[in-house]
Structure 1
Amino acid sequence: MKILVIRRDNIGDLVCSTPLIRALRQQLPDANIQALVTHYNAEVLARNPDLDVVYSYQKAKHRGPGEGRFGIYWDRLKTILALRQAHFDWVLLPGGAQASSLRFARMIAPQRVLVRDDQDKVAGPHEVEQCCHLLVRMGLSYAAPAPVVVPDPQLSAVFHQQCVAHLGFVPTRLIGVHISARKVSQRWPAERFAGFIRHVTQSPGTACLLFWAPGSADDPKHPGDDEKAAAVMAATGSAPVVPLPTQGLDKLIAGLSLCHSVLCADGGAMHLAAALGKPMVCLFGDSDPERWGPWAVPHRIAQSPQRHVEDLALDAILSRWTALASDSHG
């Protein structure tokens, strides 16, 4: 059997589709399972043991300097032709009936196309549950295992060496603190991140890895958090903190893989950390934790009645962090 999974949206959405891919591999060990994703998020599936092939294509809006639309669309056409010649039995669209995904499916021309829709809500409210309900519609058993993301081991080793060199000691516990968030409602102030870091690094041997999207906040195309990161670093004083701007998704995954636990907002980094098995406290703004919370990993959700992360006090986050630590140790 040959199966193609198409998921062309955000990082977190793709991470939430990896349990479906894992369940397919577990139930169909001899199947040829492939995926089609975008260049932007293809690193999520790099080294995934459940996939035979990963195809990716460039979205025109993500093209870099010197990349023309004609070349992008020509490469995309060649990818579609290669997939069409593979003669898939199934094409699965766990992201639902997105126009572009449906267009890809029609051009690839498999025997069957299975699109996630309202009938999959019977499995539960979470994105993972609804993605995995496609198994039932294929005639397989329902399962919703943990998500899977595999870091680049060489890059992880390099980052570990850099951490030790920066700190001047080998930390017994590394806590990841990710300060960037795409949605305004998910952004926590710099001074509270700094307060969190000062508190948790009071424990001997503990240090923090500070993650953020690099770039200036006023960059119209790719706004980043360089200024916010500088403010956090300045406010942490002598606390042991290693700055780690993540210019690429491979670097974010490798850095998160070194952490014992994580503080972050709802978003791609949160789902990556969950797929790496990291306990975490998650800052939720105007999004639904029942649908988008971390899957299959110990966690605590912090969300204000106003559904804005800026309303969350530092003490509230520290109390959840203490509860999470108690669970992890117990």
Structure 2
Amino acid sequence: MISKILFIRRDNIGDLVCTTPAIHAVRQAYPQAKIGILVNSYNAEAIRNNPDIDEIYIYEKAKHVPEKNKFSVWFNNTKILMKIRKEKYDVAIACGSYSPRLARYTYLTGAKLKIGYLPKNVEKSFFYNMPLKEPQKPMHEVERVFTLLLPLGINEKPDKMRVYPSSYEIERVNELLKKERFFGVIETPQNDRKIAFHISSRKPENRWTTEKFISLARLILKNHNANIMLLWSPGSENNPYHPGDDEKAELISKAVPEIIPCRTVRLGELIAALSFADLVVCLDGGAMHIAAALGKPIVTIWGSTDPERWRPWGVKNVLIQGINKKADDVDVEPVYEAIVRFVKEITQ
């Protein structure tokens, strides 16, 4: 009998959001089971308030907390693993492509059944007693994670992704947007459309220039009765540990005074801010997957990432990829045209 199931997701925000359909499917199939999840401090907010999860275990990656001593980080992570081992989970699921570190974490949970992917040419694993081969055919990350549920007898199609903004964060962002006169948060006029720009992406080849975001914002404001909220990864671009886009956001805000800057320091604030939008324009990254999990239509300016595996899941979306798999090769006009089509749909 399976009474305790643990998911392990060590990756970035988007990867974790892509795991939520599998978590929901397990909750539906095993309604009485305890479902836990091991995540890192960087992505944990993406699954806060998720009713499918009973317990969240949060460990730290040393690179995310450079101010801490590495020994202290390792010691605290060992305590987290010991807590998990005391729970005596029946199943541990290693979510994501094979990596030696992910396999070790799964093994150290002490779960009876340890499920995870193996590399193509490997037949057995010391760490997994229920290994699966990496899928050979192209699959979305949502589907790849879902395939790991086969040993649990779950074989249907994945449902939508899910994130749940907290009421506290919604109230805080609502007050900020009212203060900045982001029309439509209170008493939305019929023809007012709220468009969110998220201008950040982790990989350089997935980024769009400041000038193009400025041109796009001016086109929208000139031709449509819309409001634009500006979102970005907080911090300076010169921060070696957590580079952000504060400088880029400031340039856009000064060039387009009508745009509403919304600096979200915590991931929970970003989730709440995106929940206010009617349409999201973004680059490939965690914010895109959050927007999809919130059910928002999305226009994505795409770079080098594999779109078949990482495009928005389960929502209306337009993906515009650069000729040389660089986002900066995408012109403003096709992005604007895609926005116009969505605006017409929203208005009807």
TM-score by length of 1: 0.93
Other-structure match for 1:159: 173
Amino acid at match of 1:263: V
Structure 2 residue aligned with 1:247, among 265, 271, 283?
265
Further displaced range: 185-194 or 216-225: 216-225
Other-structure match for 2:85: 84
- Pairwise CA distance, 1:143: 2.6
Q: Deviations over 1:255-289 (max 9, x none)?
A: 11111110000011111111111111011101111
8 A Cα contact 2:184 2:194, kept in partner:
no
- Pairwise CA distance, 1:204: 6.5
5+ residue gaps, structure 1, are: none
- Pairwise CA distance, 1:290: 0.8
Other-structure match for 2:126: none
Other-structure match for 1:210: 230
Which structure has greater helix proportion? 1
8 A Cα contact 2:84 2:109, kept in partner:
yes
Distance 2:63 2:80 in 1: 18
SS at 1:218's partner residue? Answer: coil
How much is the aligned-residue C-alpha RMSD, in angstroms? 1.9
Further displaced range: 261-270 or 304-313: 304-313
SS at 1:105's partner residue? Answer: helix
Amino acid at match of 1:43: E
SS at 2:93's partner residue? Answer: strand
Q: Does 1:304 align with 2:318?
A: no
Runs (4+) of structure 1 exceeding 6 A deviation are none
Other-structure match for 1:188: 208
* Structure 1 segment 304-323 matched on structure 2, within 5 A: 304-323=322-341
Amino acid at match of 1:41: N
Amino acid at match of 2:144: Q
Structure 2 residue aligned with 1:174, among 194, 212, 235?
194
- Pairwise CA distance, 1:292: 0.2
Further displaced range: 56-65 or 85-94: 56-65
Distance 1:170 1:328 in 2: 14
* Structure 1 segment 1-330 matched on structure 2, within 5 A: 1-65=3-67, 67-117=68-118, 119=133, 121=135, 125-167=139-181, 169-170=183-184, 172=188, 173-202=193-222, 206-237=226-257, 239=258, 241-328=259-346
**Closer/same/farther in 2, CA of residues 195 and 13 from structure 1, 3 Å limit:** same
Amino acid at match of 1:193: F
Distance 2:237 2:162 in 1: 32
5+ residue gaps, structure 2, are: 121-132
Distance 1:168 1:11 in 2: 27
Distance 1:155 1:132 in 2: 30
Percent of residue pairs bearing the same amino acid type: 36
8 A Cα contact 1:191 1:235, kept in partner:
no
Q: Deviations over 1:99-138 (max 9, x none)?
A: 2221122122111111035646368511111111122232
Q: Deviations over 1:142-196 (max 9, x none)?
A: 2311111111212112211221221275453321101111111111111221222
SS at 1:81's partner residue? Answer: helix
Distance 1:144 1:116 in 2: 18
SS at 1:116's partner residue? Answer: strand
Further displaced range: 166-175 or 124-133: 166-175
Distance 2:345 2:111 in 1: 47
Distance 2:344 2:12 in 1: 33
